[in-house]
Amino acid sequence: MKHVAFFLTVALSVSFGQQMPERKLYWIHGLNESSSFWNRYYSLFPQTHKVDLQRSRNVDYTSTGSITNIATVQVAPQLPPLDPNEPITAQPIGIGHSMGGLIARTIEQSHRGRDARFCAIITVGTPNTGALIINNIVNGAALHALKTGMVTILRPLGALLGVALTPLDFSVIKATPENLPWAFAENATFGGVLAGVIANHLTESLRSSLDIYTLAPASDMIVSSGYLDSLRSREHQVPCVAIWGNEDPRGVFRLACSFIRRDIIPYDYLDSTYDGCVENIANTVTDVAMYTKGVLRAIASITFIAALFDPNLIPLIPVALSVANDFEKLEWYCRVDAENTWRRLIGATWIDTIRRRVSQYYYNPYTRQQQRIPSLVINEEDVGDPELYQQYRQSLESLYEEIHILNESPSDALIVKESQIGVPGLLRAYEAKGANHLEQGNHRSVREAFELIFELQNDEFRTPRRR
C-alpha cells in the first residue's frame, strides 16, 4: 500500500510540475465562408488556452466539388500529421464550423494511423445529419416561398397598376428593360410591363443566388444524402464534441435571406463586426420591401406629374399616395409571415409556440416515420404528487427542446438539435444559447463551450496515464 501511495505521489508531482504544452488547433470554415470567420478566435485563444500559433492552421479552401474532394484534396494537404509521441494537449484538434465540421470528420475517416490529422474533433453548428434548407432549395420550395413573399410585397403595386400578381407570374413574365419597346408595340399595358420587369428581375436574382445550393458541396448536406449516410455508417477513432445552436433567433426576420445579427444577441466586444462569412442566400425580405417602397413612391410622383397634363389621372393621386405610404400589412408580413416561412424551410420553430398545443406528431428523419409526442398541457392536480409533476414537466421540457414542430404540418418537422449533434460515438454536446449554428460561431456562448472543452483536455493532461 505504501508503494502505491508513493507511486501516485511521484506521478502526480511530475504531472503537475510539468509545464502545460501549447496546443495546436486546425480551424476549418464552412460553406462559402473564408478563414476570416475564425480570425477573432484565432487571435484570442493564445491568450487564454496556450495555443501555438506557429503550428496551428486557419485553413482556407474554395467551396467547389464534393465535400469528400474538398476534405482530401484541398484541406488535408494543408494539415501536418499529428505526432503520437506529443503530450495530449500538444496534439492538433480539428475545429470545423458548419460544413467545416463535416470536412474534419471526413478527413478523420480517410486519414488514420500515421496519416491521422487530429487527436479530437469539435463541430460547431454542423448539420451532421443534413440541412433541411438544402432539401427545400433543391426541390424548389425555397424559391416558391420567395416568390410568394414577393407577391405579398408587390401586391400594392399590382393593385395600383391594375395587375393581379401570383407566384406563377414570376415564372412566365419575360418583360425586361431591354424589351420594353417591344412590349409596348404588342399593346401591353404599362402596369403589366412594369410589374413584369420588377418580378422578373427579382426572381432571376433570387434564382441565381439559390442555384449554387443545388450543386456539390451544398447538395452533399441534403438530409439522407448518400454522403451523410456513408459518413454516419462509421464511428470515429478520436473523441468528437459538438457545439450546437438554435437556428432561428427571435426578432430576426428573414426568408432564405442574408443572415442578420445582433437583433437579440447580447453585446459582445469580440463580436462587434460582421464576419466575412455573411452570405446572401437571397435578398432579404426587408431589402425587397424597401425596393418596392421606392418604386411605389416613384409611381406616386409620376402620377402626380402626369395629372398636370391629364386631368383624368387626378383621382389616382390619393390612391397612389395611399398605396405608397400604407406599409402596415407589408411590415406585418416581414415580422410574421416571412419568419414563419423561414422556420418551415429550415425545419425549426419556437418551443413556446408548441407548448400551447394539445398533442402533436413529428417526422423523424431517421426512422422516416411520424411519431407522437405527449402534450405539455397538463395540470398539477391531475398528477397529484407535486414532485412527480415537476419530474414529468422536466422530462417533457427536455423532449420538446429536442423536437421542433413546424406549424401544423408534421411532415415538415426536423429534429434541429439532433441534426447538429448526430455524430456516431459523440463524446459530449454543448448548447450555444442564442447562437445560430450558421453565423454565430464567434458568439460568447460558443466560446464558453470551448472553455469547458479545453478544461477537460487540461484534465486529461494532468492525468499521469495520458501525459
What pLDDT, in 10s, does the model give residues 49-82?
778 888 899 999 999 999 999 999 999 999 999 8
Out of 117-126, 252-261, 317-326, 343-352, least confident range: 252-261
This prediction has a pTM of 0.66
Query: Hey, what's the cell of 123?
Result: 463541430
Q: What is the pLDDT of residue 186?
A: 41
Homologous superfamily, domain 15-131+223-247+416-466: Alpha/Beta hydrolase fold, catalytic domain (3.40.50.1820)
Over the chain, what is the mean pLDDT? 66
- Show me where the domains of the chain are located: 15-131+223-247+416-466, 136-214+283-342, 349-412
Name the pLDDT band for 457 (thresholds 50, 70, 90).
confident
3-30 tens-digit pLDDT: 434 333 333 333 444 677 888 999 999 8
